[in-house]
Structure 1
């Protein structure tokens, strides 16, 4: 089981923009990597919109925010567009990133879980329980504690 202090495994994925991204590209940055079960479902929609609505507050900490689910690339694009999300989503269609972060459910989708990753690629905090409509506040409270501004 992954824990705070663990170095993340290398991964690569495809962003909703169609660009590829690797964990190497995220080195040197604080990253919020949040996993959600399925685009366009009520809980996931609440969560992504809550993060969208507080995006400016979160960005002032200099973090990169990326959502991950097993949805297809086309679905992620539509989800991002429909809800005007100012951050990227990864289409982890094969569930490889989900597996590396140990957040898979029996049906293959992701559990709702969020990781704060430090600039060295180590896990700084894990949100085991996520409240979809309050998650941005939960994240911001931890960022205040972890990132001195």
Structure 2
């Protein structure tokens, strides 16, 4: 009886830690993109499902109107037509509120939604929330038309992220694998 109880406890602990490790690793290439439902800078709600059938560039950024985040957003803004021609939509996410996003989008004429993840729940599901929960990490996820993660850019470059996404999207659309 005692050995069966120990075995059960050991199996439960193994399953717990295996599940925790898988969850802690965040989304993986080929896996389903975590769902979200967040308001943009205009208060309009956006869900992952609305992008079904399209490529989605979901980029998490640290804070509105900071030098690096402004550079990254403006690069996506400047490349928006090329991304659109490739069938991709761009969406930014940070833990800033909708009012902050509205000011940021207006100041830099950003033509794409900036989602307010004020509680950091979506950033956490994408393993893109800093430890103290006050800011998002600078990670970008390319999500395919079926809602699966096609490419992950950890600690994305503010100056090169948009160009890297375009290059990789061209490869993916032609059946090639992008570089890791």
Same fold, TM-score > 0.5, yes or no:
yes
1:6-48 alpha-carbon deviations (Å, 9 max, x no partner): 1022210001121111112121211000000100111101110
Q: Secondary structure at the match of 2:28?
A: coil
Counterparts of 1:148 and 1:85, CA distance in 2:
29
Of structures 1 and 2, the larger Rg is shown by 2
Name 2:129's counterpart in structure 1. Answer: 104
Name 2:33's counterpart in structure 1. Answer: 8
Name 2:52's counterpart in structure 1. Answer: 27
Alignment TM-score, normalising by the size of structure 2:
0.79
Larger strand proportion of the pair? 1
1:90-110 alpha-carbon deviations (Å, 9 max, x no partner): 011111110111111123111
- Offset at 1:117? 0.4
- Offset at 1:129? 3.3
Counterparts of 2:33 and 2:167, CA distance in 1:
23
Q: 1:63 aligned to 82, 85, 88, which one?
A: 88
Counterparts of 1:20 and 1:53, CA distance in 2:
25
**Which stretches of structure 1, 4 residues or more, deviate above 3 A after TM superposition?**
none
Report how many aligned residue pairs link the two structures: 149
1:56-87 alpha-carbon deviations (Å, 9 max, x no partner): 11111111110000001100011000000111
Larger helix proportion of the pair? 2
Q: Secondary structure at the match of 1:111?
A: coil
RMSD: 1.3
Matched, 1:79 2:79: no
Counterparts of 1:10 and 1:55, CA distance in 2:
24
Counterparts of 1:60 and 1:17, CA distance in 2:
25
Q: Once structures 1 and 2 are overlaid, which stretch shifts more, 83-92 or 19-28?
A: 19-28
Counterparts of 2:166 and 2:49, CA distance in 1:
25
Q: Is the 8 A contact 2:52 2:146 kept in 1?
A: yes
Q: Secondary structure at the match of 2:160?
A: helix
